[in-house]
């Protein structure tokens, strides 16, 4: 029983992490049909900025509770600034281009942003342990767990619900659905598609940066931080279906739980399990589990 609870908690924590880092990617693809490889850089910039601000906050002698504010500030600032600059400076010129060109352009952006990180933050890893230390540990399933990583589950749930409500219950969500369905018709109906695109890209960027900013206190934030996350995010998004938010949630859950089972029961296959799940899903549903239906144009 203890092992089952532990596997479930480990799986949920890892799934939450995967959902946070992949949902921004899937939103951008769903609305704009942009496969944004630079998403890993947004994650890394969020992590670095968060770790830096937490360090500054703590050195100034403010309480550890305030470090959570620094995480939010880092995600918003990085997401809004980088999201806006990238969309206006690069992505807007890519809408009419072939998908391969878009992937190459965003990959180039990723490489540039990785080097800018080295210039700005240096090569030494950053440690931002204060939020984790502040929340302490608790015994669950017979072992000690840090409470901070458990809060990832809550954060992912809140983000998921807010996005779902925002997309299905609000006017902005309906506008977005119209743009996803037919861009030209949306323009003809008077929707400011450019504004929708900019805001969507910034939202995706904030979510990517939030993933990095929130994970930063749990890890050593080091150069190359964004590389691993791109691969995992793509795996999750492909499993769930490109552009589907419920798909990202289910994809993250499937991968997270499968990985936790592997680590506890068959550690030898842990490296393979994420891609094994992806391969199995693609064999039976090449479009992913929850790929949104695409409209047939006449």
Partner 1 sequence: MTTKARMGAIGVLVAASLIMAVPAVAKDSVTIAVPAFLSGPAAGPFGVPARNGAEMVIDAINAGKLPAPYDSKGFAGATVTADYIDESGGNTKQVAEYRNLVQKREVDAIIGYISSGSCAALAPVVEELKTLTVFAVCGTPRVFEDGPREYIFRTMSHATADNVAAAHYVKDMFPGVKTYTGINQNYAWGQDSWRDFELAMKVLMPGAKQSDKVQFPKIFAGQYGSEISALSLDDAELVHSSFWDGDLEGFIFQAAPRGLFTKKKVIFTVGGTAAYRLGKKMPDGLILGARGPYGILVRDRKTALNEWFIQTYFDRYGTYPSGPAYQYGQAVLATKIAYDKAAAAAGGFPSKEQVIASFKGLEFESFSTNVKMALAGGHQALTENVYGLTKWNADAAEPGVTDVKFYPAECIMPPDGVTSVDWIEKGMPGAKC
Position among 228, 276, 280, 282 found at the interface with partner 1 (CB under 8 A): 228
**The two structure tokens encoding residue 212:** 């990095």
Position among 260, 277, 278, 281 found at the interface with partner 1 (CB under 8 A): 260
Is 263 one of the binding residues for partner 1 (CB under 8 A)? yes
DSSP one-letter code for 141 = T
Please say which residue, 182 or 228, places its beta carbon nearer to partner 1. 228
Please say which residue, 118 or 187, places its beta carbon nearer to partner 1. 118
Cα separation, 7 vs 264, whole angstroms: 7
| C-alpha radius of gyration, the chain, whole number | 19
Is 273 one of the binding residues for partner 1 (CB under 8 A)? no
Look-up of token digits 């206006």: 88
Q: Residue 138 forms beta bridges with which residues?
A: 145
Pattern 173-202, partner 1, x by CB under 8 A? ------------------------------
Cα separation, 285 vs 107, whole angstroms: 27
DSSP one-letter code for 124 = S
Please say which residue, 183 or 259, places its beta carbon nearer to partner 1. 259
Is 137 one of the binding residues for partner 1 (CB under 8 A)? yes
Helix (H, G, I), strand (E, B) or coil at 144: strand
Cα separation, 242 vs 291, whole angstroms: 6
Q: At what angle do helices 171-181 and 193-215 cross, to 10 degrees?
A: 110
Is 289 one of the binding residues for partner 1 (CB under 8 A)? no
Cα separation, 155 vs 29, whole angstroms: 22
Position among 1, 60, 123, 283 found at the interface with partner 1 (CB under 8 A): 123
Please say which residue, 6 or 92, places its beta carbon nearer to partner 1. 6
Position among 58, 149, 200, 244 found at the interface with partner 1 (CB under 8 A): 149
DSSP one-letter code for 294 = P
Min dist. Cβ of residue 85 to partner 1 (A): 23
Task: Using CB under 8 A, list all residues that contact partner 1.
Answer: 2-3, 6, 9-11, 13-14, 17, 118, 123-125, 127, 129, 132-133, 136-137, 142-146, 149, 215, 218-220, 222-225, 227-228, 259-260, 263-264, 267-268, 270-271
């Amino acid at each position: 029983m203890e092992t089952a609870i532990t596997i479930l908690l480990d799986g949920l924590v890892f799934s939450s992490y995967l959902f946070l880092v992949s949902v921004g990617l899937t939103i951008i693809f769903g609305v704009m049909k942009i496969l944004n490889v630079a998403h890993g850089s947004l994650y890394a910039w969020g992590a670095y900025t968060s770790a830096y601000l937490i360090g500054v906050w703590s050195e100034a002698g403010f309480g550890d509770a305030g470090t959570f504010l620094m995480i939010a500030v880092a995600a918003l600032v990085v997401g809004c600034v980088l999201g806006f600059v990238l969309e206006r400076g690069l992505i807007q010129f890519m809408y009419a281009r072939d998908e391969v060109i878009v992937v190459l352009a965003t990959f180039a952006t990723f490489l540039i942003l990785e080097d800018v990180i080295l210039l700005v933050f240096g090569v030494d890893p950053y440690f931002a342990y204060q939020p984790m230390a502040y929340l302490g540990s608790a015994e669950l399933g017979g072992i000690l767990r840090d409470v901070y990583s458990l809060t990832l589950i809550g954060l992912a749930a809140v983000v998921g619900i807010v996005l779902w409500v925002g997309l299905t219950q609000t006017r902005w969500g309906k506008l977005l659905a119209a743009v996803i369905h037919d861009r030209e018709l949306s323009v003809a109906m008077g929707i400011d598609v450019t504004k929708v695109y900019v805001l969507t890209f910034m939202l995706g960027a904030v979510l990517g940066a939030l993933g990095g900013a929130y994970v930063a206190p749990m890890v050593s934030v080091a150069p190359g931080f964004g590389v691993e996350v791109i691969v995992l995010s793509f795996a999750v998004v492909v499993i769930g279906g490109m552009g589907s938010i419920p798909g990202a949630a289910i994809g993250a859950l499937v991968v997270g739980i499968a990985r936790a089972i592997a680590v506890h029961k068959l550690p030898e296959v842990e490296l393979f399990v994420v891609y094994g799940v992806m391969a199995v899903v693609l064999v039976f549903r090449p479009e992913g589990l929850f790929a949104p239906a695409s409209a047939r144009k006449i």
